[in-house]
Amino acid sequence: MPSHSHPHSHPHGNHGHDHPHAHDHAAACGSAGNCNNCNNCNNCGDASAPTPAAADGALLLRIPAMDCPTEEALIRQALADVADLGRLQFDLAARTLAVDAPPATWGAVTAAVARAGFTSELLSAPPSAEATASARRRERTRLLAALAVALGAELLHAIGPDDAVWHAAGMLFAAVAIALSGFAVLGKGLASLARWRLDINALMSVAVIGAFVIGQWPEAAMVMALYSLAELIEAASVARARQAITGLLALSPTQAEVRQPDGSWRHMDAKAVAPGDTVRVKPGERLALDGTVSTGRSAVDQSPVTGESIPVDKGPGDPVFAGTVNQSGALEFRVTRSATDTVLAGIIHAVEAAQSQRAPTQRFVDRFASIYTPAVFVLALAVALGAPLLLGWPWLAAAYKALVLLVIACPCALVISTPVTVVSGLAAAARRGILIKGGVHLEQARRLRVMALDKTGTLTAGHPRLVAQQWMADDLDPMRWRRVARSLAARSDHPVSRAIAAGLAGEASEAQQPLPVDDFGAEVGRGVQGRVDGHELILGNHRWLHERGLCTPALEAAMQAHEAQGHTVSLLADAHRVLALFAVADTPRASAREAVAELQALGVRPVMLTGDNPVTAQAIAATLGITDVRAQLLPHDKQAAVAALGEPGTVGMVGDGINDAPSLAAAAVGFSLGAAGTDTAKEAADVLVMNDDLRRVAETLRLSRRTHGLLWQNITLALGIKAVFFGLAVFGSATMWMAVFADMGASLLVVGNGLRLLRR
């Protein structure tokens, strides 16, 4: 059994495609039940699960008014009392809920949903994307009609004579407009009030009903229509941000051409293709599955998966990915993963999961809004009661002013701005082949001041080659001993051993079988040992030989010469003396030097971490422009080094995700390169760079800074507009619909601002 001296402690798992990710929705906009202010949450960055399938034995409900994760949380709470329920799958975009439950409980489920304040209807099949889209269109038409009728009410009020008939007509117009646009808002608002929750729906409901009661019915109608319309537009904008991600999924075709046992080719559903099957793609076609090329050569455009714009040449043995486009030649490949398990599916899943986590700024905004909204409620109440009593204002004027304040209090723009910006940032990163596992990491990346970079496989390509061998004793038959060395090296899959084994095998003239190795063992950070052909041998680095007292000044001088060129030296020794020296060379990655320079330009200090010896490490670091090198580190030393490199929260780490899981986890933000190429789940890393381009690390930091900038621009913008209107309302003559209009404007402004991240 081949042994690997890297501690593979790392749990192997996939991204968990069966992850019940509907559970994360509640957290998407306002931690569950705490999103007091957000009716707009249908717009929040929550990831909508794929439309729930109406599996047998599942109850599928359409809940028309459910468009916010807060509401989802309410329904969840209500359903908690119902016994025997399985998984709940919420789809806020389609407004459906699928419940795994025996039919006997269905009555209890609908009753619980009704108790939470929602009407529901039974569906036999999940609504299609077109159905959802056409429902959106109908809603838009309805709201535009409501706006027109509300304008009519304003008009009647402005030009109509002051008599009862005209008043009645105006009132009727207003009522129709409110009914057209505001039923859902009023329903949810009253339900919230009944539970003593001051959310946006409650706010709007009080404002509209209040305005109606004090005789400002055209105003009430305008407020309702504009507010509902603004919400719809925001929802569409957020849908766009999310589509940037789910659009990726549409990239992999549903059909694949599969070889049949009789040798013929047949088009099949990609989901039905099993690993091991052979699939072919013609030039210009998109791949439906992941695999390894078996025949053919072609250039493949991998931009959907890795973000790299230049097509990559593929030949037999190379990995190919679902969603990528075959360009020049026909390819046949052996499928390595089922359709639900492809790298692309993993990306989409991870980004969806990332969206449902709250970034720190989002949490801050929620906390702020949850204090701010009730505070303004109290202030409005104080104006309505205090101004007439203390300042002698007319009651009606004071009540109107109070209602204007309520509308101004609506923190839509504030609440909507952060999730849109964060989701856009995550989507923009995903498009560049950078997978960020949560808004937290996107926000954190800008704080990094030190970047620890693993040497082997990160700064270098990780495919060292044997470049020199030197036999230290005259009495050895090199032919025979090369075979011995190769046999020992071949037992390890450490890159250094592999390079030695491969280099020596390439030299073997006849087909020499490797010799058996007994008592094989690997020593982390040192090398391997075993008994070959009756000799107790070790193959390892200077450190190990030195510890065993086998080192001599002459040997050190010989090693020094190789190490100064950046080569890694391994020594073959028996119990008494050193027999041979092997030097392997690893080439720095093409983009590494540039990547290091980019990090430095961002004010981030690059530090090389390696288990290799200091001289070799220094030599390689020098070619890359890195001055700070920490060498001869064991895996746990690396972890300690990461922790000691800077203030907590400021040290990032880039590794290959396999042997450096502990240090990746210790870093504030852990980056892993080449994530598309390996099966290993990169669970320890926070950011996965799909291709091998180290420059994506600096790009992530830049994106993080831009996102942060936009977040605060948006927060300032939203609050600034509020402040202006607050002043106007208190000291001037701002009307209610002006306040709503301003809020709508502010919301659209911040949403548009956030979506700018999506532009390349």
Ligand X SMILES: Nc1ncnc2c1ncn2[C@@H]1O[C@H](COP(=O)(O)OP(=O)(O)OP(=O)(O)O)[C@@H](O)[C@H]1O
The residue from 67, 301, 366, 454 that is catalytic is 454
Please report, as a single letter, which amino acid is at residue 90. Answer: F
Residue 525 near ligand X by CB under 6 A: yes
Report the residue from 170, 540, 606, 646 that binds ligand X according to the rule CB under 6 A. 540
User: H or E segment at 428?
Assistant: helix 412-431
Closer of 67 and 563 to Zn ion (Cβ): 563
CB of 585 to Zn ion, least distance (A): 21
CA atoms 325, 330, 334, 339: torsion sign? positive
Give the integer Cα–Cα distance in Å for 330 and 567: 40
Dist. CA 728–CA 377, nearest whole Å: 18
Residue 546 binds what, of Zn ion, ligand X, none (CB under 5 to 8 Å, by partner type)?
Zn ion
Q: Are the C-beta atoms of 492 and 2 separated by less than 8 Å?
A: yes
Pick 357 or 570: Cβ nearer ligand X: 570
Nearest distance, CB of residue 542 and Zn ion, angstroms: 5
Cβ nearer to ligand X, comparing 417 with 663: 663
* DSSP-H helix ranges across 42-198: 69-79, 106-115, 129-159, 164-194
Smallest distance from the beta carbon of 537 to ligand X, in angstroms? 12
CB 224 within 8 A of CB 189: no
| Partner whose binding site includes residue 218, from Zn ion, ligand X, none (CB under 5 to 8 Å by kind) | none
**What are the tokens at 98?**
């699928």
What's the rounded Cα separation, in Å, for the pair 35 and 29?
6
- CA-to-CA distance for 567 and 584, rounded, in angstroms? 5
Q: Does 527 bind ligand X (CB under 6 A)?
A: yes
Q: Does 484 bind ligand X (CB under 6 A)?
A: no
Residue 160 or residue 677: which is nearer to ligand X going by CB? 677
Q: Which is nearer to ligand X, 30 or 527 (CB)?
A: 527
Residue 2: DSSP 8-state: -
| 5 near ligand X, judged by CB under 6 A | yes
**Residue 469 in the binding site for ligand X (CB under 6 A):** no
Contact pick of 8, 367, 546, 756 for Zn ion (by CB under 5 A):
546
Residue span binding Zn ion (CB under 5 A) among the ranges 139-147, 154-162, 167-175, 545-553: 545-553
541 binds, among Zn ion, ligand X, none (CB under 5 to 8 A by kind): ligand X
Q: Which of 198, 522, 592, 751 binds ligand X (CB under 6 A)?
A: 522
At closest approach, how far in Å is the CB of 10 from ligand X?
14
Residue 528 binds to ligand X (criterion: CB under 6 A): yes
Residue nearest to ligand X (CB): 611
Report in angstroms the alpha-carbon separations of 337 from 276, 295, 320: 8, 18, 11
Is 598 a binding residue for ligand X by CB under 6 A? The answer is no
Burial per residue of 217-226, b for 16 or more beta-carbon CB atoms within 10 angstroms, e otherwise: bbbbbbbbbb
611 lines the binding site for ligand X (CB under 6 A): yes
Binding residues for ligand X, rule CB under 6 A, total 23
Q: Which two tokens stand for residue 277?
A: 């099957």
Interaction between residue 636 and Zn ion (CB under 5 A): no
In the complex, least distance from residue 558 CB atom to Zn ion, rounded to whole angstroms = 11
Specify whether the CB–CB gap between 447 and 700 falls below 8 A: no
Min. distance of Cβ 556 from ligand X in angstroms?
Answer: 15
Query: Which tokens is 344 given?
Result: 């692309």
Residue 201 binds which entry of ligand X, Zn ion, none, with Cβ cut-offs from 5 to 8 Å by kind?
none
Find tokens 């009704």 and name the residue. 114
Q: Do 27 and 440 form a contact (C-beta atoms < 8 A)?
A: no
Q: Does 610 bind ligand X (CB under 6 A)?
A: yes
The full DSSP string for 482-514 is HHHHHHHHHTB-SHHHHHHHHHHHHH-SS-PPP
Choose which of 444, 541, 639, 753 interacts with ligand X (CB under 6 A).
541
Residue 455 binds what, of Zn ion, ligand X, none (CB under 5 to 8 Å, by partner type)? ligand X
Minimum distance from CB of 346 to ligand X (Å)?
25
Beta strand ranges found along 533-590 (DSSP E): 535-540, 568-573, 578-585
The Cα–Cα gap between 54 and 60 comes to 6
Nearer to ligand X, 241 or 499 (CB): 499
Site for ligand X in 492-521 (CB under 6 A): 492, 494, 496-497
AA letter at 459: L
At its nearest, how many Å lie between ligand X and the CB of residue 621?
11
> Terminus-to-terminus CA distance in the chain, angstroms?
49
Cα dihedral 97/103/104/110 (nearest 10): 30
Take residue 17 and report the two structure tokens written for it. 């495609």
By CB under 6 A, residue 568 contacts ligand X: yes
Question: Which listed option, ligand X, Zn ion, none, makes contact with residue 551 (CB within 5 to 8 Å by class)?
Answer: Zn ion
Minimum CB separation of residue 636 from ligand X in Å reads 11
Considering only 248-256, 334-342, 454-462, 722-730, which stretch makes contact with ligand X by CB under 6 A? Answer: 454-462
Active site annotation includes 162: no
Write down the least CB distance from residue 752 to ligand X, Å.
Answer: 45
Do the strands 527-532 and 535-540 form a parallel or antiparallel pair, or are they unpaired?
Answer: antiparallel
Determine which residue in the list 97, 116, 551, 738 makes contact with Zn ion, applying CB under 5 A: 551
Q: Please check whether residue 3 is in contact with residue 539, taking contact to mean a CB–CB distance below 8 angstroms.
A: no
Q: For helices 200-213 and 164-194, give the axis angle rounded to 10 degrees.
A: 150
Looking at the Cβ atoms of 5 and 338, the one nearer to ligand X is 5
Query: Would you state the torsion angle of the CA atoms of residues 190, 191, 195, 201, taken in this order, to the nearest 10 degrees?
Result: -60
Residues near Zn ion (CB under 5 A): 546, 551, 556
Q: Among all residues, which ones are annotated catalytic?
A: 454
Residues near ligand X (CB under 6 A): 5-6, 454-456, 492, 494, 496-497, 522, 525-528, 539-541, 568, 570, 610-612, 659
